[in-house]
Amino acid sequence: MIELKNISKSFGDLKVIDDISVTYEKGKTNLIIGASGSGKSVLTKCTVGLIEPDSGSVLYSGEDFTTMNTNQRKQIRKEIGMLFQGGALFDSMTVAENVMFPLKMHSEMSASEMSDRVDECLERVNLKDAHLKYPSEISGGMQKRVGIARAIALKPKYLFCDEPNSGLDPATSILIDNLIKEITIENQITTVVITHDMNSVMEIGDKVIFIYKGKKFWEGSKDNIFNTEVKELADLVFASNLMKSIRNKN
């Protein structure tokens, strides 16, 4: 479980995150939705310590990350897996080397233990025969799966995925969404997924947080999102459904 308490962050005069409190639950895919520029990525960067919030606190399993020293933070960071926007695989490394990278950096495993763990992770994301390929030689969907394999290599307790479906077709997006959800349940990870894809909400929205202009406007589950009385949320839901129906007609 991760708890955010009254997180605020400004850049100059611009208040980007305004007093957000939220709890991400263990064993669930917790979704953050909102329009582009609403603050989803900044909130997540504040959560993992890539950006320092101006005020508020972040608790990992009850422990206050915000007041920890560098060494204590390092321990928590080892328990965090990240799949950030753009995928960010190392182009000059093979698929297997990409997945092994965090093991080399942060574990004390022997070479054969690392190699076994790489096999295990690639198998889990249904990529058995891609070890020696380079990122440029595989499809966008496969690259995301490598990214997921790398993010889970160290068996994280917490997993953050920023727009894991960006650039993917709808069918591949559903596969990636479901893979993230299955891995979350199997390993009882606290997973946070940023998305603006309503299909994702319907597939994996155990818990959904809606952010509008830096404020938390709504939280609930996929089952009650369509009858929301929050106008800003209805606009987002309706706009994306409208877009889809227009797209399907063409």
Which residues of this chain interact with ligand ADP, rule CB under 6 A?
A: 11, 16, 34, 36-42
User: In terms of CB distance, is 41 or 190 closer to Mg ion?
Assistant: 41
Read off the DSSP letter of residue 25.
P
Nearest position to Mg ion, beta carbon? 41
Residue 98 binds which of ligand ADP, Mg ion, none (CB < 5-8 A, kind-dependent): none
SS3 of residue 6 by DSSP: strand
Residue 42 binds which of ligand ADP, Mg ion, none (CB < 5-8 A, kind-dependent): ligand ADP
Query: Residue 175 CB, nearest distance to Mg ion (Å)?
Result: 22
Closest to 95 (Cα-Cα) out of 52, 127, 49 = 127
Query: Residue 235 CB, nearest distance to ligand ADP (Å)?
Result: 16
With a CB cutoff of 8 Å and minimum separation 6, the contacts of 69 are none
Query: Residue 14 CB, nearest distance to ligand ADP (Å)?
Result: 6
Cβ atoms < 10 Å from Cβ of 163: 20
Q: Which of 29, 30, 38, 41 binds Mg ion (CB under 5 A)?
A: 41
Read off the DSSP letter of residue 82.
E
Read off the DSSP letter of residue 137.
G
- Name the one residue in this structure whose structure tokens are 């068996």: 155
Query: Residue 61 CB, nearest distance to Mg ion (Å)?
Result: 26
User: In terms of CB distance, is 33 or 152 closer to Mg ion?
Assistant: 33
Q: Which of residues 114-143 bind Mg ion (CB under 5 A)?
A: none
**Residue 29 and residue 208: Cα distance in Å, rounded?**
9
